[in-house]
Amino acid sequence: MTLLNIILGALLLIGLFISWKVSQKPISSFDLQELEKLRKDIQEARLQDRKHLQERMDYMGKLFTENSQETNKTVHAQLKQSHAIVREVTEKLTKIDETNRQVMNFSSQLEDLQRILKQPKGKGVFGEYWLATMLSHVLQPDQYKLQYAFQNGEIVDAVVFFQDKIIPIDAKFSSEKYSEIGREPNQDMRGKLEEEFKKDLKLRIDETAKYIRPEESTTDYAFMFIPAEGIYYDLLVSKVGTLEINRINLIQYAHNKRVLIVSPNTFFAFLQTVIEGIKAFKIQESVLDVLKRVDLLGKHLGSYDSFMKRMGEHMGTTVSMYNQAYGEFKKIDKDIYKLTDGEVGGTLETIELEKPTAHLEETFEKVSRKKLTEVSS
């Protein structure tokens, strides 16, 4: 209402001035006093309006400062949380890199294992010792156990732990009968020894099969470890020298009993497969954890983006209100300038602030895209 009164008074004053110009009559001292009084009133009203406008601008500035401080606190908290997530993602990526280096070094470990698994020169029954040596050079102590006892008290030579399963391995096998067959010159006696040898193999298969216990988390099969490559080879071919063994019956019999017969060379391949599976499983867990962290980081960045957009909109609204108020103030200055014939006013410069919303959104989008690219790589 004050601004409207000032405008009406200014129009009235202009009308009086125009009437005076038309009549070209001299203005009396009374009129001059009235005009001077009107000018002072207008000047006082102008100063009062400027004071009110300044107070309003100060209030708006204070409000903007408070909002900015609150915004800075929120932004700082979001950045702190985002930095923590980035740090965790970096740590997980470092662990994955270390695991990959271990996988790359596995080839040198395999060479050492091959050296260990060479056929020994001495003779004797060393299945359990050889099995324990192979396991200790390939697996971690918590990945296998020797002389594992089941709930009924029976003990298997070794088990390998893989995820939530137990793989039983039996190495209790004697090569005495096999050696006797090779030393026996009498063909009839050799035939009897071969039959006994076959029965002994079936007995060993039965002994190994009893360790298959799914109710105790074992796999549906067990491994029968034969420490002598020659004996293992006899099971795969129909004839070795003069030794005749029904290969199909023995292998089929072991298959029916869910027993896998392995030798030092084939067991080495099995160990390699198990180790690769364990390492791949660990890498998969780490990758899944990293992906979860990256997804969480993306959600935080999205929330931060929305917050920045809202902040830009608030800042844009504040700037618009400031520009409108300053435009009205400029109009008053122009009116005063006209009323006083250029003696007062006309010195205000047009100051218009730009809205920061578009710039802030563009800047944050670039930063977010760059940060996500760094994390993904």
Domain stop point among 213, 246, 262: 262
Which residue is listed with tokens 């209100």? Answer: 321
Same domain, 241 and 150: yes
Same domain, 122 and 254: yes
Nearest to 274 by CA among 130, 117, 135: 135
Same domain, 122 and 257: yes
Give me the number of domains the chain comprises: 2
Same domain, 72 and 182: no
Q: Which residue has the higher pLDDT, 48 or 152?
A: 152
Same domain, 210 and 158: yes
Domain stop point among 238, 262, 286: 262
> For residues 52 and 294, what is the distance between their CA atoms, to the nearest angstrom?
52
Under the banding of pLDDT at 50, 70 and 90, the label for residue 55 is confident
> For residues 370 and 348, what is the distance between their CA atoms, to the nearest angstrom?
44
Q: Is 174 left (phi over 0), alpha (psi -120 to 50) or beta?
A: beta
Same domain, 149 and 91: no
When mean pLDDT is compared over 19-33, 40-54, 69-83, 215-229, the highest value belongs to 215-229
Same domain, 217 and 335: no
Nearest to 129 by CA among 230, 209, 227: 227
Same domain, 148 and 257: yes
- Residues 226-272: pLDDT tens digits? 887 777 777 766 343 344 555 557 778 888 898 888 888 888 787 67
pLDDT at residue number 173: 64
- Residues 281-297: pLDDT tens digits? 667 777 777 777 777 76
| Number of other residues whose CB lies within 10 A of the CB of residue 208 | 28
Q: Is the residue at 112 inside a domain?
A: no
What's this model's pTM, rounded to 2 decimal places?
A: 0.41
Distances (CA, A) of 16 to 26, 43, 165, 168, 301: 13, 18, 105, 115, 65
Give yes or no for residue 224 having a pLDDT over 80. Answer: yes
Q: Is the residue at 104 inside a domain?
A: no
Tell me which DSSP letter residue 218 carries: B
Q: Is the residue at 199 inside a domain?
A: yes
Q: Is the residue at 71 inside a domain?
A: yes
Same domain, 197 and 82: no
Same domain, 145 and 245: yes
Token code pair at residue 182: 């090779």
Same domain, 178 and 218: yes
Nearest to 336 by CA among 21, 52, 51, 44: 44
Q: Is the residue at 55 inside a domain?
A: yes
Q: Is the residue at 196 inside a domain?
A: yes
Range of the domain at 204: 117-262
Q: Over pLDDT 90: what percentage of the chain?
A: 8
Alpha helix stretches (DSSP H) within the chain? 2-23, 29-104, 106-116, 127-138, 176-183, 187-209, 229-236, 247-256, 264-339, 357-376
Same domain, 155 and 208: yes
Q: Is the residue at 102 inside a domain?
A: no
Q: Determine contact, residues 167/218, Cβ cutoff 8 Å.
A: yes
Q: Is the residue at 318 inside a domain?
A: yes
